[in-house]
Structure 1
Amino acid sequence: MPFFRSSAARRCRRAGISSEKISKSSSGMIKPGQVGNAACLASNRQLVYQHAGFSGSRGIKAVNEETKSVLRPTTGEIVEQVRAMILTARHATLGVIEKDTGHPAVSRVAMAALEDGTPVLLTSALAAHTSALGADARCSLLIGEVGKGDPMAHARMSVFCHAQRMPQEERAAMRALFLAHHPKAINYIDLPDFGYWKLQVDRVSFNAGFGKAYAISGAELIPG
């Protein structure tokens, strides 16, 4: 979406930017990245604030005073939306900490969830992320489906967790839960190197779309 109106072009020219460095769209507006001078961008900062809904007379001061936090208040409806996304998710991106390097690493994993919204994973002992979880229980999940259009416009969340191996006596219940989510897992679910992890949720960073950010605690998501 273009930010800079055609008046920005005149300001850029006054700042010494040649017309070759200014590319107007058919609507007479200049798009981000089409102006090749940082000073020119700074001179048009006011237009950015106007585009964001702040009047020109308020400018930077208004942004600082009125956007002390980018987070919106969490409501019961938002918590239920987050829980529903977790309960219906079939896969996620798992973030772990590499045991030897301390570097963050990510993998795509199949997932299920308990009734209260606690995520459950089934992983192989041969997978690098399994050994990483065994060495450091801290992990996170990126959950959210991408639909048509801009992928950044769709709801997604980062779920910050601590992983716990599930005991042998819970294996039968977890097997049934996981097969309900992933019927094709029958091909490998009983192999001896596979095991279940329960991810205790510490907090959730939920982005419901542009300008709709929420912070949800584990206690809010999974009471008791």
Structure 2
Amino acid sequence: MKNIVFLILLSFSLITISCSTDEIAEPEVVKPEEIQVNEPFVDENPLQNFLNLTGYNQHQLLSCDLNAFEEVGLSFKPLEKGVLHTIMVKLPIINTNLLVTIKDVAANQILRIETINVDTANMETIKAIVPIELDKNKIYTITMKTNLHYKRFRTDYSQPQLPVIIGNLQIISPISTEFSPDGITTGGTGNFYSGDCDFTFLRTE
């Protein structure tokens, strides 16, 4: 009889230990705020935000000089390392041989000249290009060679506060200067923007 009682007690103890072990083995619950997700970098097209922030989108004219070409566009500085991989342009005329130049200002060096076929007036033309690596905090320009383009002002023709920061880019100033065969001229303007010449920047690190 004593042996039977001892076996019953031993069985009960084993069941209790097994239950206790199961309770200890419960998985740890991770709270949502403790989960870290690395968001991917996204494409940035600065021109429209630049026009909105500066007020250059308030008034528009057409600028035409049949006797001389200009280089028009933007000077800018990436605030992070990245690439320029797409060019977008819009003109009031068709231009099947539009030259767009990207330059490193400090090095006084042309990084790329792209030819774009603008086959429709007053519509944005987009061209994907072999990506150009851009360094953090270096000044670059992107300009197009044309003698007929949009000229955008504030309604009071005043100069906005420049530069402006848009995402990972600092837009320093508009560019409007006589065309230079070596493509190095980088003269700026304050109270108007001539274009339209935009680009896509993608931060890489």
Say which structure is richer in strand.
2
TM-score in same-fold range (> 0.5)? no
Larger radius of gyration: 2
> Relative contact order (alpha carbons < 8 A, sep ≥ 6): 1 or 2 greater?
2
Normalising TM by the smaller chain, what interval? under 0.3
Say which structure is richer in helix.
1
